[in-house]
Amino acid sequence: MQMNPSNPVIIQGDGKVLVETKHPQFDQARDFLARFAELESSPELLHTYKITPLSLWNAASSGMSLEEVLEGLRGMSKFDIPANVLETIQDTIGRFGLVTLETHPTDPKNLMRVTFYNRYVEKSVKRTDTGKQFIKPDGRNEYAVDKGMRGMFKQRMLMENWPIADNAGFNNGDPLAISLRKRTRGGKEFDPRDYQKEAVERWFQEGQPSGGHGVVVLPCGAGKTIVALTAMARAGTHTLVLCNNQSAVTQWIREILDKTSLTEDEVGEYTGQNKVIKPVTVATYQVLTWRRSKNADYEHMHVFRDHNWGLLVYDEVHLLPAPVFGATAELQGVRRLGLTATLVREDGREGDVFSLVGPKRYDLPWQLLEKRGFVAEARCHEVRVPLSRRMRARYERANENEKFRLASENPAKISAVKSLIKRHREDNILIIGTYLGQLREIAEQIDAPLITGKTPQRERDRLFLKFRKGEIKRLVVSKVANFAIDLPDANVAIQISGSFGSRQEEAQRLGRILRPKERDAFFYTVVSTDTKEQKFAVKRQLFLTEQGYRYHIEDYAA
């Protein structure tokens, strides 16, 4: 057995990879592992990664070779790669692209050709339940699937551990001339950053059949919208943009008109308030998934089908609702671009994103962008607040479901928040939480406006504008602030309660303060000491730890 005890990595037989955080090569090892493994835990001295089939297939689809994975692991590991892990990596990466979808040469309107790497793969795939259901002879001694089953076939085959390389290409949709402005309507010079251009090139792949579908992963504040605008100009076609809420729709339309050649007559809004379809239309997931009852049809899904779209853009793709997954499975002939700060889905449907929207095409670590000055330097703190004797007794008597909420709404947190506000009296502060009663009490005690899901859109926009102008220095916001709110001057976020162990929420909330600015950004998570909330906080921090952030622990005593 080869031994290199000075290296930072230990590879276990169960596929887990341990990394010493104090090692001089830790940053290098972390960035390398993040390309093909998932972070599972991140205690102070030893981080644990897990090599999974999906993480390996995403790496393979982005061009990472088996040799690159193995050479990197061997160069960083203290010991040889266990034989079973080596075999698993080889088999898993080797599976990607063994089955491909291509345009059918004689019946492109109705069929798609299925090709196999060799006869063994052909026999193995045809024996699967999915193969028996979908694959059929095409009369030319070859095989095909019905074109309408393209998405479902890929989705099911992934579940059978056969990731499909989709090289069948796309319909161009109705053409639309789109160019990026060299100077915005506001008069500022504008040119996409080098990494934004690179992300689009990796996604588009020069218009090759294998390109034009997939996910770009960039941190909040790094300009994912600019990536989408550049992709729209590259594709030159009618585009449907889907995002999370009305505020996001407003921001998208503002950015499209400010930075592209498109006019108001060419950009439409399809929301609960306005339903106008134009060559470029921005819609919310909520309106597309609205129905009158659980058994009724989705009344607005026709937006996908009634127009000859050439590009679908999914903002916050990690939040795609199940009904939109269904529509996406049907619309595999349309180019698709997913945007997100994290591919982590709390429902475990990362595989559906991979098969239906596309594989990860581009991913840039937050810390790298921070070093280049494209996102603000952020300092993360966990502030631990004890429960009072009375609250502790109540907590101990509560059932498991009640304990998390009791800890989250710990009244002593208000004093801790006031102390943090005093520390940052000159800064622009967002106080973010989940429970409305707690948020109302804090807003009242610190004399700050409160924005919740019930706040009318016009009032939200008015308060956000006042915050941007510096007319108010503090805002209390509910979960509506998790996504797509552009507050470039915010540099302090205080999170007083969250959604259990949601890593995506942790990443999104940090993203609210990552716009480049002269001052450093501070992200505080206030948790109750020795409670279920503290345990969930560790899970929430996993994604940010993977990106290179470290949490400073503070114990608060009133």
- 317 closest CA partner among 368, 369, 356: 356
Q: Which of the pair, 46 or 234, is modelled with greater confidence?
A: 234
User: Strands of 111-116's sheet, edge to edge?
Assistant: 136-137, 143-146, 111-116, 99-103, 164-166
pLDDT band at 371 (very low <50, low <70, confident <90, very high): confident
Three-state SS for 479? helix
pLDDT of residue 512: 63
DSSP state letter for 501: T
Residues of CATH 3.40.50.300 domain(s) within the chain?
Answer: 194-364, 371-555
CB 378 within 8 A of CB 493: no
Q: Is the pLDDT of residue 543 over 70?
A: no
**H or E element at residue 143:** strand 143-146
pLDDT band at 372 (very low <50, low <70, confident <90, very high): confident
What does the pLDDT look like over 39-71, one tens digit per residue? 777 666 788 889 999 999 988 988 889 999 999
Q: What is the CATH number of domain 194-364?
A: 3.40.50.300
What does the pLDDT look like over 258-292, one tens digit per residue? 999 999 999 999 998 899 999 999 999 989 888 88
Range with the largest mean pLDDT of 123-127, 322-326, 429-433, 538-542 = 123-127
pLDDT of residue 486: 59
CB 457 within 8 A of CB 246: yes
CATH class, 371-555 region = alpha beta
> Which neighbouring-strand residues pair with 183?
189
CB 545 within 8 A of CB 47: yes
Taking each helix axis as running N to C, give the angle between helix 53-61 and helix 83-95, from 0 to 180 degrees, rounded to the nearest 10.
Answer: 50
- pLDDT-above-90 percentage for the chain: 51
pLDDT of residue 70: 94
Q: Is the pLDDT of residue 523 over 90?
A: no
pLDDT band at 146 (very low <50, low <70, confident <90, very high): very high
pLDDT band at 502 (very low <50, low <70, confident <90, very high): low
Q: Which of the pair, 515 or 435, is modelled with greater confidence?
A: 435
The answer for 232, left when phi > 0, alpha when psi is -120 to 50, beta otherwise, is alpha
Handedness of CA 42, 44, 48, 49 (dihedral sign): positive
Q: Is the pLDDT of residue 484 over 60?
A: no
In whole angstroms, give the CA distance from residue 264 to residue 68. 48
pLDDT of residue 380: 84
Three-state SS for 404? helix
pLDDT band at 516 (very low <50, low <70, confident <90, very high): low
Q: Please, which residues have CB within 8 angstroms of residue 462's CB and are 6 or more apart in sequence? A: none
CB 122 within 8 A of CB 160: no
pLDDT band at 481 (very low <50, low <70, confident <90, very high): low
User: 172-186, 199-213, 504-518 — which is least confidently predicted?
Assistant: 504-518
In whole angstroms, give the CA distance from residue 42 to residue 521. 22
pLDDT band at 485 (very low <50, low <70, confident <90, very high): low
Q: Please, which residues have CB within 8 angstroms of residue 41's CB and are 6 or more apart in sequence? A: 47, 48, 538, 542
pLDDT band at 541 (very low <50, low <70, confident <90, very high): confident
CB atoms within 10 A of CB 305: 11
CB atoms within 10 A of CB 389: 8
pLDDT of residue 72: 94
The answer for 416, left when phi > 0, alpha when psi is -120 to 50, beta otherwise, is alpha
pLDDT of residue 378: 76
User: 317-331, 410-424, 498-512 — which is least confidently predicted?
Assistant: 498-512
First vs last Cα of the chain: how many Å apart? Answer: 56
Average pLDDT score, the chain: 87
Q: Please, which residues have CB within 8 angstroms of residue 182's CB and are 6 or more apart in sequence? A: 189, 190, 191
Q: Is the pLDDT of residue 504 over 80?
A: no
- 342 closest CA partner among 361, 363, 321: 363
Q: Is the pLDDT of residue 347 over 70?
A: yes
Q: Is the pLDDT of residue 556 over 90?
A: no
What does the pLDDT look like over 19-41, one tens digit per residue? 998 899 988 898 899 889 887 77
CB 396 within 8 A of CB 427: no
CB 382 within 8 A of CB 536: no
Amino acid of residue 194: D
Q: Is the pLDDT of residue 553 over 90?
A: no
